[in-house]
Structure 1
Amino acid sequence: MNGQNLVGNEYAEAATSAFRAVNPLTGEVLDGEFFPAQKKHVDDALLFAANAFITYKNIDKDLKADFLRTIAKEILALDTILLERACAESGLPLGRIQGERGRTVAQLNMFADLVAEGSWVEAIIDHELPERQPAPRPDLRRMLVPLGPVVVFGASNFPLAFSVAGGDTASALASGCPVIVKAHAAHPGTSALVASAIQKAVISTGMPPGVFSMLFDNGFEIGASLVQHPKTKAVTFTGSFKGGMALTRLAAERAVPIPVFAEMGSINPILLLPDALHSGAEKIAEQYAASITMGAGQFCTNPGLLIGTASDGLTRFKDTLAEKIAEIPSAAMLTPAICSNYHKLSAEMLREAGVTLVMRSQVSAEGAQNQAGGMIAQVSAKDFIANPKLKEEIFGPWSLLVIAENNMEMEQVLDSIGGQLTVSVMAEDAELDSYQALLDKAADICGRILLNGVPTGVEVCAAMQHGGPFPATNDSRFTSVGTTAVRRFVRPFSWQNWDGKLLPAALQEENPLGIWRMVNQSMTNSSMIN
């Protein structure tokens, strides 16, 4: 244990058993022992975080921004050590890991810029009106303030960008909240390296000890303790529906309930409109074969549902998609358990009434373990609508083609599937007016709607919405990607009749940054400036 910071194996002396990482591509047991935390370490981490919060929430915004930028620099300084370990623990190729590291660093710098600019706090000043009748108005000043210690659950499918220093950690630190990460057991070495980079940044920028901690857990006990700890003020999670709902229930059952921001899965339907298929079925099929199998299908925006009406264009799309899927090699999945679950669930799906296999990948990667090949199945809209099982996500390179008889059945399919992260529409501009009811239904069930594109590939920017109605996420008002992700960790707070010198800098008239509503102005701008 290092002072008031907990990172990974610093509590090894108290652990009863260790675990090691496994390369899912080769089955090799990797170097390094990692020790699950115990309840004492949860208590320590939250106590240190609560103490750090007293200081960190009031630290100058430029110092916070420097802290975030320094984390990014320290991650880059890890260089090939980090890249090689992440590849070994995930089975992902070097190019993917390099891209993910770039996204991780870019997110940290993006939030640093947001913090330094300052207007995200939505500062509002209503000056006093002492002469107002029948009663004077007091001076009121309002802004967003941080909640307190945030628990971040690292995701399995992004060992960097949704893990120890990923978007959840970056946005929570940007908001002024200390972070405790529960590292994912699939990539503990990668997590330990990134945690060491954050701790270097804590020390070099003079941040309060305890502003960041990381705990290992090879099961569920420590995660549950973190959520239920009275000093935890918010939780983020990316993973399964079952896992997200379990954490949500734990948080709701506390003496003082707290928010959980859980991304829990999505089948991301694709609407294949007839004119688009008539003119470009083969091109669209090629696009979607690549998207379905990208990264062995292990993306939360993987297109798991293809919906179209019976036509010559849809037949050409299906035939071309089958041809392309057959040519794409299988790929190693992130863990043996994930791979086993993919094969189990896809086999079960193929046994459901009316479901038939269209094509599975015919090419295996020689010598690789835990392989998953692309699979396309088909079913009628009537059978799909009648069977709740067919609406469930299969995490991996799987997609189900639903063939409707008409536009009304396409609408009924959307009515039956629940909330999604994305809906994609493949259409010619001229046909969109004829499908307004379908498009309205699509917009109602998702957080992001795409026109003539694939949902895989989530841009990190201010306008991104990565969230959706239940069950895609448990709160569709928020995003886990982009600058507005910071809103998950703040609450509005007002000061009444306080001397300006005693207020935060954003609420002092000498420093009007971020003030977007003043007395006698109408409230016309309710959006955050980025």
Structure 2
Amino acid sequence: MTTTPDRIDELAAAASAAAPIWRDSDAATRATWLRALADALDGAADELVAIADRETRLGEARLRGEVARTTGQLGLFADVVTEGSFREITIDEADAAATPPQPELRRLLVGVGPVAVFSASNFPFAFSVCGGDTASALAAGNPVIVKAHSGHPELSRRTAEIAVAALDGAGAPEGSFALVEGREAGNALVQHPLVRAAGFTGSVSGGRALFDLASGRPDPIPFYGELGSVNPVVVTPAAAEARGDELARGLVTSFTLGAGQFCTKPGVVFVPRGSGFVESVAAAAHGATGGPLLTDRITEAFPAGIAALEADASVRVAAEGVPGDGARPVVLVSDASAVAARPEVLLEECFGPVTLLVEYADESATLALLQERAGRVLFAGWPTGVAVTWSQHHGGPWPATTSLHTSVGATAIRRFLRPLVFQDAPAALLPRELRDESLERTPHRRNGVLVLP
């Protein structure tokens, strides 16, 4: 099913008409709309989980937890809106004696306008129709048009119906939320002149194609893509000696979780040569069970990805697990010199239950690379979980993301905001948030000094 160009025009026009209402909504109203959406999804959890389990085979326990994560992040963004510092309100008072003379300046961040959101396959709730991109875009004060993922179409449609009804029932304007389907519709959406930004979670190839479309418009728009990543991990010699077997079991649990379909899967693990860690991982992996992959396309691509890695002369298979009902876990081994020489081959993401152990000799050189190549540096743990909090960051340098922003946590809202400054404006013409009576209740900066209510 593909949404027609005429229908996309209708939805974009409705979103554009709703955008000023969202932008001008006060904090309490906008937070109410977000919480109404969260409550509606919680209320429909039984129905939605059943649909999701049929389409994705992820299992009821995982899917119920994901619904809770989805509604929890909607609640977090309601709190972000209510707290108010996301607007980054800044006041510089007029100073005629300054050189040059300084006018009065009042600055805040406002919503960019209609946002296109592209759903992910591996998180049918948390990174899909009402996931983090949608929650943060709405919280920023923007209507949203979601491009459904083909891996869970029935779930996407039903979730969208619930979202539209919830927002309408809470008093949000018509055009606040819509769903389109089909690859052509997604391409048209990111190029539509009324769409002002886009958020994407998916493959490097798919994200790069949309990024190029967004950049190639007559009026280019921001495209925030969360793309492929191998999530490098370094096991130090001291850690391998002190708790090598424990770390090995933890790695196997992490890279096989969800059949290796988490975007934070530890896909490349640097291990000290000669430490015995490779053997410990191999022993733990022999009993590891695989599972079904999300779509037929992903299932077909997994063996090809393994074969491409194995084709490198430096790579050997250390262990294989039990296939179960789906993909068999695989542990591969290479060395640091080969990775340095052929990163385009050995650091290519392979989506599924596989990890590449890279043996190294120089610990200091390996550790120095972490802050240059990562957006989140995690200590003493495996990186599969990503808490949804005020301080969380998800992503990193290309190809993990197309930008420096995060798609998880409170600051994900920053992607869908733009700065607006008012110079010497009469008080009556200022946005509500910039008027002195509102500033008494809102965190802001005045003449460089942080002011808290």
TM-score, length basis structure 2 = 0.96
Helix, strand or coil for the counterpart of 2:407? Answer: coil
Q: Is the 8 A contact 1:122 1:514 kept in 2?
A: no
Q: Please say if residues 127 and 138 of structure 1, whose CA atoms lie closer than 8 Å, have aligned partners that are also in contact.
A: yes
Measure the CA separation in 1 of the matches of 2:307 and 2:443. Answer: 57
Contact in 1 for aligned 2:45/2:67 (Cα 8 Å):
no
TM-aligned CA deviation for residue 42 of structure 1: 1.2
Is residue 2:133 matched to residue 1:168? yes
Q: What residue identity is the alignment partner of 1:88?
A: R
2:198 equivalent in structure 1: 235
Q: Distance in 2 between matches of 1:297 and 1:239?
A: 15
Alpha-carbon RMSD: 1.6
State the match for 2:308 in structure 1.
348
Cα shift at 1:133: 5.3
Residue 105 and residue 133 in structure 1: after superposition, are their counterparts in 2 closer, same or farther (change >3 A)?
closer
| Aligned counterparts, 1:52-451, within 5 A | 52-129=18-95, 131-132=96-97, 136-217=101-182, 220-311=183-274, 313=275, 315=276, 317-361=277-321, 363-365=322-324, 368=325, 371-387=326-342, 388-404=344-360, 406-407=361-362, 435=364, 438-451=366-379
1:460 to 368, 388, 393: 388
Q: Residues 193 and 272 from structure 1, CA distance in 2 versus in 1: closer, same or farther, beyond 3 angstroms?
A: same
Contact 2:234 2:366 in 1 (8 A): no
C-alpha distance 224-322 of structure 1, shift in aligned 2 (>3 A) = same
Q: State the AA in 2 paired with 1:203.
A: D
Question: In the TM superposition, what are the counterparts of 1:42-53 in structure 2 within 5 Å?
Answer: 42-53=8-19
3-state SS of the aligned residue for 1:141? Answer: strand
Could you tell me which amino acid in structure 2 is paired with residue 454 of structure 1? W
1:510 is aligned, of 437, 441, 448, to 437
| SS at structure 2 position matched to 1:206 | coil
Task: After TM superposition, give the deviation of residue 134 of structure 1 in Å.
Answer: 5.9
- 1 CA distance for matches of 2:242 and 2:62? 33
Letter in 1 for 2:211: T
1:506–1:515 contact (8 Å) kept in structure 2: no
Secondary structure of the structure 2 residue equivalent to 1:85: helix
Q: CA deviation at 1:136?
A: 4.3
**Rounded Cα–Cα distance in structure 2 between residues aligned with 1:133 and 1:239:** 51
Which AA in structure 1 matches 2:69? R
Q: How many equivalent residue pairs?
A: 450
Name the structure 2 match of 1:419.
Answer: none
Name the amino acid aligned to 2:303. H
Matched-pair contact (CA < 8 Å) for 1:125–1:515 = no
Question: Secondary structure of the equivalent of 1:450?
Answer: coil
Q: CA 1:359–1:253 in 2, change beyond 3 Å: closer, same or farther?
A: same
* Aligned twin of 1:11: none
> What is the CA-CA distance between 1:337 and the residue it aligns to?
0.9
Percent identity reads 39
1:485-504 correspondence runs (5 A): 485-504=412-431
**SS of the residue aligned with 1:448?**
coil
Q: How far apart, in 1, do the equivalents of 2:233 and 2:80 lie?
A: 34
Report how far residue 138 of structure 1 moved. 2.2
Tell me the residue number matched to 1:473.
401
Q: Which residue of 2 aligns with 1:16?
A: none
Unaligned stretches of 5+ in structure 2? none
- Cα distance in 1 for partners of 2:261, 2:341 equals 27
Q: Which amino acid aligns with 2:153?
A: P
**Cα distance in 2, alignment partners of residues 384 and 515 from structure 1:** 48
Alignment-mate amino acid for residue 96 of structure 1: R
Q: Is the 8 A contact 2:199 2:224 kept in 1?
A: yes
CA separation of 1:206 and 1:372: change in aligned 2, threshold 3 A: same
Q: 1: CA distance between counterparts of 2:241 and 2:84? A: 50
CA contact (8 A) 1:447 1:466 kept: yes
Q: Aligned AA for 2:167?
A: V
1:447 aligned counterpart, secondary structure: coil
Superposed displacement of residue 523, structure 1: 5.2
Once residues 395 and 269 of structure 2 are traced to their aligned partners in structure 1, the CA distance between those partners, rounded to angstroms, is 20
For the 8 Å contact 2:290–2:353, the answer to whether it is kept is no
TM-superposed CA distance for 1:77, in Å, is 1.2
| Cα deviation 1:406-445 (Å, max 9, x = unaligned) | 21xx6xxxxxxxxxxxxxxxxxxxxxxxx4x543321111
Quick one: which amino acid aligns to residue 120 of structure 1? F
Q: Is the 8 A contact 2:327 2:353 kept in 1?
A: yes
Could you say what secondary structure the match of 2:378 adopts?
strand
- The residue that corresponds to 2:2 in the other structure is 36
- Note the C-alpha offset of 1:135: 5.8
Superposed displacement of residue 273, structure 1: 0.7
Deviation of residue 382 (structure 1)?
2.2
Deviation at 1:515, TM superposition (A): 4.3
Which residue type is aligned with residue 157 of structure 1? Answer: N
Corresponding letter in the other structure for 1:166: G
Q: Is the alpha carbon distance of 1:384 and 1:140 closer, same or farther for their aligned partners in structure 2, counting shifts above 3 Å?
A: closer
The letter for the 1-side match of 2:234 is L
Q: Flag the 1:158–1:216 CA change in 2: closer, same or farther, 3 A.
A: same
